[in-house]
Structure 1
Amino acid sequence: MTIIKRIDISNFGSYKNFKWKDTIKNDKNEVVDFKKLNILYGRNYSGKTTLSRIFRALETKNIPQDFSPCNFLLKTDSGDISHSNVVTNQLDIRVYNSDFTGQNLSFLSDNDGKINPFAILGEDNTEIERKVEEITSFLGDSEQKIGLFYQKSLKYVEYIKAKQVADNRQSELDQKLKNKANVPKIGIKYKYSLPTYNVNALAKDIKLVQNESYTELSGAEIIKLNALRQDKELDEVTKRVNLQSNFKSLYDSAKTLIESNIKPSKPIQDLLDNYLLNEWVKNGRKLHESVDTCSFCGNPLPADLWKKLDAHFDQESEDLEQKIIALTTKVNREMSLLSDDVDIEVSQLYSEYKDQFEQEKKNLKRAVKDYKINLVNINKCLQEKKEDIFSSKVIIPLVDVTENFTNIAQEINNIIDLSNQKTTSLNKEQEKAKKKLVWNEVSTFLQEIQYDDELKAIETLSEAVTVSYKKDQEIAEQIKAKEDERALLLTQLHDETKGADKVNQYLNNFFGHEGLKLEATEEAGGRAFKFEIKRGNQLAKNLSEGECSLVAFCYFMAKLEDSESQDKKLIIYIDDPISSLDSNHIFFIYSLIETLIAKPTGQNENGKNIFGYDQLFISTHNLDFLKYLKRMTKPSKAEGSEQFLISNKNTGSSIEIMPKYLRNYVTEFNYLFGEIYTCSDETNKVTHYNSFYNFGNNLRKFLEAFLFFKYPFSQDESKDHNLRVEKFFADDLGAEPLVQRIVNEFSHLSEQFDRSVEPIDHAEIARLAQFVLKKLKDNDEEQFDCLTESVNFN
């Protein structure tokens, strides 16, 4: 049980720098606290509803938007509550004010608004409660390690662990793929200068290389493609390889000469048998044509020597020898003209053709070498024939390699042509090479990380996740089914229709208002209700102010018995339940409060009353209602009750102990007399400036009541009051006009607008108040003394 004792309000609406201990004091100058029962009176706009909003902030745990920033402090017997920690307060408090009505019964002010439903605990719920308890027990508690909730927690942990393992495995693979695609320097993006390459591009390449039609590159192909990527645009090669061969002609001529068969006229046998001797003689013959002596031995040459030699070395052999010599010269010339050196550098060609070019150069050297060997063999055969010209010879058979090296030369020229042509398609070829290399690298990468095995492992882990998730969800569905079953049972415990019935009970039994009723109507789906106000069978609209207040207050009273308030002792704050426009229901509202809240609910073992509330606050602007509130059942003297006055002073709204005249008599007549008496002392203008501003109205209303009973005549309703004033102040010259002027000027501004912009003349008001009080005393001193006593000014 917590009791609110005091409140300090530094800033909240009309309250500024209000300190409880400086204001709320009794006649002994002792600070008075809130009690169990607290009645607050204040005129309209004095600050009653503003004060109630602080209490409602404790209920809603939220500061009203229009009052922020603010500053207040409530002192309770269990600690302080301020604007800064209102959200964490633990008070069970219910507040009835205009904000409560606006939040819960917006329909009263807006036909498109709504009335929030509430439920009241049903009756005969023993069996339902048993079933609810059975379901609750079956559901168990995860912390206590029992029931479905505990099983669910175990399955959920299994699911999370399985998911974490699968996620980690997938994350590891994803990271490998990401690194392969994007990691600086070695990633495909940087290695192959592909600025937009990413994991998505890698995924596409993976799909491509996993196709059955894809074939990996060989080492040689990789080298070749990498070389192509490094190629720069080259100048055109204009040189060509041009080799010509006379092999067939030379061979045929040699064959003819070598295989020709001639005989000398009279051969000298010794010469025929000895080639060297034959050559020695032949050369000597040429040297001795003009001499008679042998240059070798010095002897004279025989006379028939020349004839014998001419017969041996005849013209036919001479001609054949000359032909052999001439053909040998041609063969040697063929050999000298035939070069195996290609005057083209390999660097002039693109890398794609370099190897083939080098190979063909080697082939060409080999072919030229073979050709020269053939020529050497031809010369050898010719030389042999020349040395033994009269012998029959056969030329050795030789293979014609001319076609071979001619083809090789043509192949070299083709390579040059292809390299020249490549300049125009180099970029495209390099892009193709780059793609092939990327695909090959992707394929190699997949093998390195065992990609397929990794996918299978992840798939297995994912299947385990799915299984564990299904098990978790199976229990979750069981829990939901049980919770739905329990919720359905609880709706039978908490019946919204009984809430509406309770409101109608209060409307009918306490107010006899059978025209209006509240109905609980099921919304779509049948699992929720809405409240509607009906007049008869029709939706009630355009309710009067009094009807709105009536329905709203009955709703609040019924809501004190809703499922959220059941079995709780509440702090209850009721702000101004009587409408300013409809005071017909004062007694009925009082009866409702007295019967349902204020009366004791029983007695304890010591015979002391037990009340159903912890603390009760009721504020009003209506003096008639205040009069009834004074009759309300009071708590024990120990718990106490207190009455307070809320007024709007020059410094802002203020709370104080209720004056004695209001506390004891509670009639407007006493109250008005007290206000006039207050204004008779000009020094009260600081603490009771509101009384001075209302002086004109208060004096008019007091004189109307007082003079009507003194002079109860009626001649002309519009003039009766003025006549009574004239009659009462007739003995005092000039008094009646002064009273009429003050009453008119301070009660009405329509014809005295300039009064609204001028300050109050406190001294003039004080003098008039003193004059009226003196006149009352002179007229009936005994009555005056009683009135003075009633307002505690004797």
Structure 2
Amino acid sequence: MINEIQINPPVATYQTPNVLNDLRPINFIFGANGTGKTTISRVIAGEAGHDHCQLLWQGGSELERMVYNRDFVDRNFNQDGRLQGVFTLGEDQVEAEKKIEELRPNIEKVSREIASLNNQLDGSGELRGVRQELSDLDSALREKCWLQKQRHDDYFQVAFIGVRNNADKFKARVLSEYEANTAELLSLDELKRKAQTIFSNDIERVAPLQAIAADELVAFESNALLQKAIIGNQDVEIAELIKRLGNSDWVKQGRKYHEQVPDTCPFCQQSTDEQFEEQLNAFFSEAYDNDVQSLKDLRARYQQSGEHLLTVLEGCLESRNSFLNSELFEADVQALSGRLKSNLTVIDKKITEPSGKVELDSIGPLVAKLQTMVAEANKSTHDHNQTVDNIASEKRTLTAQVWRYVLNELSGDLEQYHQSKERLQQTIGGMEQRLREKNELLTGLQNQVNELEKQTTSIQPTITAINDLLKKFGFTSFSIGEVEDGRHYRIIRPNGEDASRSLSEGEKTFITFLYFYYLIKGAQSPSGITTNRVVVFDDPISSLDSDVLFIVSTLIKEVMELARSGESQIKQVFVLTHNVYFHKEISFHQKRSGRDVLSSESFWMVKKSEDGSIVQRCNQNPVSSAYELLWADLKRQDISNVSLQNTMRRIIETYFTMWGGMGKDKICEKFEGRDKQLCHSLFSWVNDGSHSIHDDIYVSHGEQTNEAYLRVFHEIFVKAGQKGHFSMMMGENAVEVEHS
């Protein structure tokens, strides 16, 4: 059975997708001409040009589709006078039929098992199949993988190239890496740091920093002169005095003034002689002067070395090496510069006062710190430059490391995914194997039936049945005959001539409908007669004469009841029509309360607007109740003769079957003469089940006969004690009818 019909545009008048779901064994589709009903029948039939529309089958088991529409008429009724034969089971092959009936329950059982397996695999209604569970499992993992991509895409776009814009591809890459990735697992910070270089679009080599050499400068700090007390010659007489005073540096300063005024002592301003000058010069000997000069040379070299070191350090800063912590480095350079200046001041003091001892502040710790910073920056620079020289290889390595990190983040999810996937795949594999076995078993059973059908089938029973119906309803001008090949029909006149070219449109439609009706119960080949099938009637009353409308309705109802029973090979029926009266006639069912929908049926409306055709489900029969419609029809002033009489007997059947207070025989006994015959006639038509279609079609009945029937119809209600009901249903026209 079809569970769902998907109509996907563009197709005919449909411009938007439409879905008919939760379909039942009986499905009524009502809509005006041109709204798109035939398109639905063509979708069901699988006609060319409708391949993009889909049918979803119950249990995944597709049934044979038999569709009556104008395409069927065009295909099967052509001017060469032949119709494909309809094969039915031969009545004389009792043993073969018995075997077929024995096989049918097995076929039904296996078909149900196949449907059950398909439901377990693909789901049905609220039941989720295992394939859907597997799909949901993939969807859940896809979402988790995609979340990792969103978290890290800003840093690792290069590693994600090719899968950045598709969640399914990203998940597939994760699963692929899961099978083969053995890269080193790095921290996220390390990966980001490396990515800034390796994944950069403008990566270039970086110049290394100049090494810092300050050994000579540091060595000055231990120079012996700084701790040496530089004093004059101790062998001269004045030396004892200077030593006792402890002011040789003061005396030295005074020599400068004595050289300017030789006759005056620079200390006491008294007159001096040549001996005083000789003793001063002897005290400050050449050795003294040499030591002082050495101090001055030391200062000069210290200053020069310091300036050179600072120049090198300034160069490191100006290079703007990205691997050097410039702020910290500059702060330490400033501290070193200040210490060098401070030490020069200490040396200057020593030169000024050579007899004193001084000690320089050590620059070693500062220099060592700066050297370490330069060395670390140069190491990073070397690594960077090596990366630049091997960028392709480095990119591959880092890409693998990035995916390794993603795998680590998803490790728990991936482990659970593979465990669940393996379990579901094993389940699906087992079910698919059982499904293959069941399908093979079903094919074998069907082949047995086909072979038995070939032994028992014939088109002759169909010829006989169609001709009997034609005779029963007054079609004596033509009949169905068998072609010599035993596989085709031909339409012939009583004298044996071909009648296909001279049939009226109504006769052509009727004979084609009868052909379809018997085709439903048979097949166009000697096998396949007992296969399950879906039947579609698309506007079957089009172009029919009034004489045959009621038989078409009756035959379709018979097919619908077979589908409702569930015991026939006809599993589902679709009826599509634009005719209100035919719709109400064909959809009438005594077990339905009012307009409520039975569990075995569904109602649909097809409408057409500026935006195209739309199919809507109806919770109730979209057309007024059949009984109300019959009375409304009876009250029409322009009602045709055939409609009037058909309407009366339809009302009688409906009302008196439900009321049941007085039998038809008692009612008829209350009439006399011709009225009694008319009453019997109305009830006999009812009992024959002849329910006609209420359409405005001409039928040759006299007006007097119609008036007589209308009068008897009214009297039936009066004599049955139901005059009040008659008056209520007829309303204002009740008086007029009573006196007509």
State the TM-score bracket (shorter-chain normalisation): 0.3 to 0.5
TM-score (ref. length: structure 2): 0.40
TM-score, with length taken from structure 1: 0.38
RCO higher in structure (CA 8 A, sep ≥6): 2
Q: Which of the pair has more CA radius of gyration?
A: 1
